[in-house]
Amino acid sequence: GAGVSQTPSNKVTEKGKYVELRCDPISGHTALYWYRQSLGQGPEFLIYFQGTGAADDSGLPNDRFFAVRPEGSVSTLKIQRTERGDSAVYLCASSLRTSDEQFFGPGTRLTVL
C-alpha cells in the first residue's frame, strides 16, 4: 500500500497563528511518531503514539505543541501561537510495532514569518 503521507507539504504562516499538520500512517501500523528537523541537523523526536494514546511526549518543546490520534490512525500535530523558531520540517513516521523499522513521510515544511 501507500507510504506515510503528510499534508500540507508546505505551510507558511504568520507569527502568533495556529497551525495543524496532518499525518496519515501506513495502514495497520500501530506506532506513530512525530519529529522535527531544522536545517543541517538530524531529526529530533517530539511525540510517539501507540494506538490512540501518547506513549511518550517528552520531546514536545512546550505547551504550545499538542498532538492527537483519536482513532489510532491519522494524527494531527497542533501548534498554537506560532513563533519564528518553530520554522522547521515536521516529519511523521510509523512502524508496524515498536522497535521495528520506522518509515517516514515526506514532511511538512513550516515557515513562520
Partner 1 sequence: SQQGEEDPQALSIQEGENATMNCSYKTSINNLQWYRQNSGRGLVHLILIRSNEREKHSGRLRVTLDTSKKSSSLLITASRAADTASYFCATDAKAAGNKLTFGGGTRVLVKP
Residues of this chain that bind partner 1 (CB under 8 A): 31, 33, 35, 37, 39-45, 48, 50, 55-56, 59, 89, 91, 93, 95, 98-107, 109
Nearer CB in complex with partner 1: 59/72: 59
Q: What share of the chain is helix, strand, coil (3-state, %, to 5)?
A: 5, 50, 50
We find the least distance from the C-beta atom of residue 37 to partner 1, in angstroms, to be: 8
DSSP state of 84: G
Label the pairing between strands 10-13 and 44-50.
unpaired
We find the least distance from the C-beta atom of residue 49 to partner 1, in angstroms, to be: 10
Q: Give Cβ neighbours of residue 14 (< 8 Å, ≥ 6 apart).
A: 82, 112, 113
Nearer CB in complex with partner 1: 96/113: 96
